[in-house]
Amino acid sequence: MADIDVGLMRGTLDLLILKALTWGPRHGYGVVDWIEQATGAALLVGEGTLYPALHRLEAQGWIEAEWGLSENNRHAKFYKLTATGRAQLRTGLSAWQQFVEAASRALHTSASPRPA
Amino acid sequence: MSDRGAWTRVFRIGVGAKHLERDVDQELDFHIAMRTQKLLATGLPPDAARAKALERFGDLRTVRDSCLDIDHQRERAMRRTNYLSNLRQDITYALRTMRQNAGFTAVVLLTLALGIGANTSTFTLIDALVLRSLPVPHPEQLVTIGNPARVGGLSEGTPRNDIASYPLYADVRAQSKLLAGVYASGRSNRLDMLADEKQKEPEHPRGRYVSANYFSVLQVPAALGRTFSPEEDRAIGGAPVLVISYGYWLTRFAGDRSVVGRSVLVNGVPLTIIGVAPRSFPSDIVGQRTDVWIPIMEQHALMPNSPALTDRSVSWILMMGRLAPGVTLAQARAEVTAIENRSLVENAKPAERASIEKDVREKPLRVESGARGFSYYRHLLAGPLFILMAAVSVVLLIVCANLANLMLARASARGREMSVRMALGANRARLVQQLLTESVLLSVVGGALGVLLALWGSSALIALTGGAQVDARLDGRVLFFTAALSLATAVLFGLVPALRATRVELAAALRAQGRGVSNAERGTGRFGLGKMLVVAQVALSVLLLVGTGMLVRSMQRLQATDIGVARDQLLMVEVDAERAGYKDARLLTLMRALVTRANQTPGVVATSLSENGIFSGTESATNVRVEGFTAQSDEDSSIAYDDVGPAYFRTIGARLVQGRVLEDRDNVSGAKVAVLNQTAARFFFPRGNSLGAHISSDSLTYEIIGVVSDIEEQNLRAEPTRRVYIPASQIPATPGRFSLEVRTSGDPARLGESLRRSLATVDPALSLRAQPLTELVQESIAQDKLVARVVSVFGILALALAALGLYGVMTYATTRRTSEFGLRMALGAEPGNVLRLVLGEAMLLVAGGVMVGMPAALGAMQLVKHQLYEIGLLDWPSILVALLVLGASAALAGYVPARRAARVGPLVALRDA
C-alpha cells in the first residue's frame, strides 16, 4: 500500500486545526505539535503545509490571529477559534463522521456487486 | 503550547505589504527555531538539528509564497470593506450635520450653485463655440483653406487668399493630390423663397452656395431623400435642386416627408427639394444657422446680376478639404499654398501682379485644422468668452474663500467635539476625511444645482451675444468640467478648515470648556486664517471691480465716439434694385424717385443715398492717382470710396472742413467732382492745398471741391481711413444695391415701417430694409456691451460676496470680544471709541485686500488691453469708483457688528464673560 497516498485531504487538515484550537490559542508550531502527538506522527507529510491552511482559515474568519509572547519569551503568532470557527468545527465533525463511516463500510465490505 | 500567563497583547500597526512579509517570515522563523530547539534536546549537534528541522518543514519558499498570497488578498478585501463602511458612515454623518444646520446648508448651496453655475454657463458657450468638433465622421481629417471666420465674406477687386474666387477653388480642387476631397462654400444674399403657390410674402431662409461634393467630403448622409450628386457640379445652371436642414424641415415644413421632390421658387427660379440633412448636422458653420444648401452652379441663376463663378476678381469662397489617408496638415498646407500662389500669380492682371506677389509673400494662405468648422462668432466671441471665464473663475474663488470662512467658523464651534473625539483615539486623517466628505457632498449638490442654473444661464448669455445661434448643450465635456470644478471647489474650501479643525491642542481645548480654541485656531487672531481669507476676497473683488469699471467705461467711450455724422435721427434703408433688373439710366431714375418719395413721407426731413451706407457692413476700395502726389507703394494709392447722392453730407450731418459739399448740379452732365475726407486730404496734400487738385481712378478724373471731417463708416474702433466721395451719377456703372439715408424729425425707429411701405409703392419688386443708424452702431459693438454687462453682473456678485465675508468675520470677531469691549467701557471708553476700534479693524482688512488686489487688477487689465477702447491702463476714474464702492460696502459690513459691539452694556458684557 506504500504507493497510494492517503495523506491529509484539505478538509481533514482544516478540521484538525480547528480541533487543535478548541483548548485555547496556539501558535503554528503548537498546532503541528498537537496534530503529531494526537495522530502519532502519522499524518503530516511536511510541517510547512500547515501554514497556508492557517492563513486561509484566518482569511475565512474561522480563526483569528494575534501576536504574543511564547512560553520561551519569543514573539509568536497565536491563533484562536472564532465563534464561526467553532460552529464550522461542529458541522465539520458530523460530516466527517458520515464520510468515514461510508468510506469505511465500502472499503471493508466482502460482498461483490450484483450483476447489472 | 501556550499558557495563559505568557499571553501578552502586543499592539502592532502594519502598513502596506512590508508588514505582511515581515509577519510571515517571523512566524515561519519561529517554527523552525522551535523545532531546532526540540531536536537539540534529543542530542543532535546544532547544524544537523537545524538541517533536520528545515527538512521536516518542507519547501519553505512555497509555503511562504502561498501564505503571502492569501494575506495580500485578505488585506485588499479588508481595505475595501473598511473604506466603504467609512464612506457610508461619513456620508450619513455629513447628511445629518447638513440637516441639522439647514440654514447654513441652504446658504452654502446657493452660493455654490451661483459660482459653479456661472462657470458652467460660460464653459458651455466656450465648449460650443471654441472646443467642440463638427458632428461628422473623422472631423480631425478636415482642413479649412482661407480665413475660417470670413463666412459672410465677399470682396471684389484684386484676388486674395483669405477668401477665394470660384476659379481659384476649381484650381485647388483639380490639382490637389493630398486632399481626398475639397468643397466650396460661399455666402448667399438674402434669398426670397416661395414654398407653395398660396404663399404671397416670400420668406428668407439662410442659405449657402456649396459645391456638389459638400456632403460627400463631410461624409454626411441625407436623413431623407438624397444629397447632391457629382452631376450637380458639371455645368452652370445645371443643378436646379436644394437640400434643406433638419431644423428648417421641422419648423418650416413641420417634418412633412412629402417635401422631398417638391418644387419651390427661390429668387424666382424653380428648385426641387431633393433631401433633408440629418438632425445631427446643423451646419459646418458654428454659431450660425444654415437652412438651405444650394448647388453653387445655381449661383448665376439666382443672382443674375452678380455672376461669380467665372470671375477671378470676386472672392467669396471658403474651402474645406479632407486629408487623404496618411497626409499631415503641414503637407497639405504646403501643397495647397503652392497651388494657390501659382494660380494667383499666373492669372493676375498685369497691373495687379506686383501687389499679388507681395500679398502671397507677406500674407501666407491659412490652411488650418477644420475639425471645428468655420465660424465668424468664434472669432468674434472667443476673446470676450475667455475674459468672462476669467471673471467667473474669480467669482468662484471668492465663493471658495467665503465658504472656507464659514466652514472655519463652524469648525471652531466644533473644536471641542473634535478634541474629544481625538482624545478618544480617533485618528486625524480619519476626521479630516470626514469633514472633507461634508464639503464634497455640499459641492456636489451645489454643482448639480449649478448645472440647472447653467441651463438657464447659458441661454441668457447666448441671448446677450446678439445673433449667434449656439448649440449650447451639456455634453460630456461640460459635465466633466463641472464635476471636476465641484471637487476642486470642495477641496479648496474644505481642506484648510478641516486641517485647522483637527489641529487642536488637546489639553488647551478641553480646558477651555466649550469656549473653543485659541484665537489662532479660531482664525480670528491678528493674522488669523479667517482674516486672510477676507483680505483675499477683497483683493479678488478689487480685481473684478476695477476690471468692470474699465470695461464699462471703455464701452461708454465707444458709444460716445464721434462718428462724424449726426447719428441720432438717421434712418438707413438698404435697397436692392439689382434683382428687379434696374440698370444705368433706369436705375438713376429709380434713385431719384425713391428720394422724392421718401421726402414726401411725413416725418422725413431730408433724404440722400450712397452705395455703401454707414455701418452697413459693405465697403469699397480702389486705387487712385492724385495730382501732385507720388505714391511710394501700391498701398499709398489705395483709398476707400463711396458714391453718394446729392445732399448726402447735409442729410447725414457731416461737417465741412474746406471748400463745398456735393450739390444737385454735380450730376451726370456736370463737371466731375470729388470730396475727400480729412485723413485723405492730409495724406495726399500735407500742405493743405487739396481744393482744385485732381484725382483719377480707372479712366476718369475728378476735381476735388471739398474736404469733410472723417466719418467712421464701419467700426468704432478703427482708425479713420482715407476716403473719397464721388456723385453716384458720375461713376461708370452705378450699382443696383445702395442705401438711402433718411433724416427724420422724430424717432427714426418709429418711422421705419411706414417709410418702407411708402417706398415700396415706387416698385413692389424692390427689396427694402430700414434700420436706424444708432441701432446699426450698437450692433457693431454688441460684443463690447456683452462683456461689459456680464462682467458687471459678476463684479456686483463678487462685491456682495466679499462684503458678506467681511460682515461674517467681523461679527464673529466682535461677539468673541464682547467681554473685552465691556471691560473697555467699564474702564471709561466711550461707545464711539469701540465703534472706531472695530471699524478700524475692518478697514485694515479692506486696505490689505486693496494692496494685494490693485497690482493684480492692473496686471489682469494688461491682458485684456486689446478689448479696451481709449482707456489707459491706469484708469483713475475706474479705480476710484471701484475703491469707493468697495469702501462703502466694507464700511456697511463692518458698521453693523461694530455698532452692536459699541452698544454692549459693560455689565452685561462682564457678566456673560
Residues B465-508: tens digit of each pLDDT: 666 777 777 888 888 998 898 888 888 888 888 887 777 555 55
Q: What is the pLDDT of residues A35-72, one digit of tens each?
A: 888 877 666 667 888 899 999 999 999 999 999 888 88
Cα–Cα dist B405/B390, whole Å: 23
Q: Is residue B761 part of a domain?
A: no
Domain identity same for B627 and B738? yes
B40 at A interface, C-beta within 8 A: no
* Residue B546 domain flag: yes
Residue from the list B4, B9, B56 with its beta carbon closest to the beta carbon of A47: B56
Please tell me if residue B71 touches chain A, with a CB cutoff of 8 Å: yes
Distance from CA of B481 to the nearest CA of A (A): 42
Longest CA–CA span in chain A (Å) reads 67
CA B173, CA B340: separation in Å to the nearest integer?
10
Q: Do B10 and A75 touch (CB under 8 A)?
A: yes
CATH number (1.10.150.120, 3.30.930.10, 2.40.50.100, 1.10.10.10) of A10-103 reads: 1.10.10.10
- The 8 Å CB, 24+ separation contacts for B510-516 are B510/B416, B510/B419, B510/B420, B510/B423, B512/B416, B513/B416, B514/B416, B516/B412, B516/B413, B516/B415, B516/B416
B874 touches chain A (CB under 8 A): no
B608 neighbors B644 (Cβ within 8 angstroms) = yes
Burial B44-53 (b: 16+ CB within 10 A, else e): beeeebbebb
- Percent of chain A topping pLDDT 70: 84
Q: Which of B162-171, B610-619, B822-831 has the highest mean pLDDT?
A: B162-171
pLDDT tens-digit readout, B438-454 = 889 999 999 999 999 99
Inter-chain residue contact A33 with B57, CB threshold 8 Å: no
Chain B residues touching residue A59 (CB < 8 angstroms): 70-71, 73-74
Query: What are the cell numbers at B453?
Result: 442654473
* ipTM of predicted assembly, 2 dp: 0.87
B699 vs A: CB within 8 A? no
Same domain, B323 and B360: yes
Q: Which residues of chain A have a Cβ shorter than 8 Å from any chain B Cβ?
A: 24-30, 32-34, 45-49, 51-52, 55-56, 58-59, 66-78
Residues B533 and B670 in one domain: no
Residue B521 has pLDDT above 50, yes or no: no
Test B57 with A46 for CB contact under 8 angstroms: yes
Which tens digit of pLDDT belongs to each residue from B747-757?
888 888 889 88
Q: How many other CB atoms sit within 10 Å of the CB of residue B145?
A: 32
Q: Kindly state whether residues B312 and B170 are assigned to the same domain.
A: yes
For an interface test with B, give the residue of A10, A34, A60, A67 to mutate (most B CBs within 10 A): A67
Residue B909: its pLDDT value, please? 60
Q: Are residues B821 and B719 in the same domain?
A: no
Strands (E), B496-582: 570-576
Same domain (yes/no): B172, B29: no
C-alpha cell, B11? 499592539
Interface contact flag, B1 A26, Cβ < 8 Å: yes
Q: Do B364 and B386 reside in the same domain of the chain?
A: no
Kindly report the nearest CA distance between residue A23 and chain B, in angstroms.
10
Q: CA B805 → CA B180, B534, B893, distances in Å?
A: 60, 6, 9
In this prediction, residue B392 carries a pLDDT of 87
User: With contacts defined as CB-CB under 8 Å, which chain B residues touch A56?
Assistant: 70
- This prediction has a pTM of 0.72
Same domain, B316 and B167: yes
Report the pLDDT value the prediction gives residue A43, as an integer from 0 to 100.
Answer: 64
Same domain, yes or no: B354 and B405: no
What is the reported pLDDT for B466? 65
DSSP code string of B793-860? HHHHHHHHHHHHHHHHHHHHHHHHTHHHHHHHHHTT--HHHHHHHHHHHHHHHHHHHHHHHHHHHHHH
Does residue B67 sit at the A interface (CB-CB below 8 Å)?
A: yes
Number of domains comprising chain B: 4
Average of per-residue pLDDT across B253-269: 92
| B26 touching A (Cβ < 8 Å) | yes
Q: Chain B contacts of A24, Cβ < 8 Å?
A: 2, 4
Asked if residue B400 has pLDDT above 70, the reply is: yes
Name which of A29, A74, A80 to mutate to probe chain B: the one with the most chain B Cβ atoms within 10 A of its Cβ.
Answer: A29
B301 and B342 belong to one structural domain: yes
Å between B8 CA and nearest CA of chain A = 5
**Residue % of chain B over a pLDDT of 90:** 29
Measured between beta carbons, which residues in chain A are less than 8 angstroms from residue B30? Answer: 27-29, 70, 74-77
- B806 and B702 in one domain? no
Poorest-confidence range of A64-68, B5-9, B81-85, B283-287? B5-9
Query: Which of B717, B745, B773 delimits the end of a domain?
Result: B745
Average pLDDT of the residues in B391-418: 81
B766-769, Cβ contacts within 8 angstroms, sequence gap of 24 or more: B766/B575, B766/B576, B766/B577, B766/B580, B767/B190, B767/B192, B767/B574, B767/B575, B767/B576, B767/B579, B767/B580, B768/B573, B768/B574, B768/B575, B768/B576, B769/B573, B769/B574
The answer to whether A68 contacts B8, with C-beta atoms less than 8 Å apart, is yes
pLDDT score recorded for residue B87: 87
Domain limits for position B732: 570-745
Mark which of B694, B720, B745 sits at the end of a domain: B745
Structural domain contains residue B99: no
Is B728 found in the same domain as B591?
Answer: yes
- Residue A2 confidence class, pLDDT cut points 50, 70, 90: very low
> Which helix H or strand E contains B723, and what residues bound it?
strand B723-727
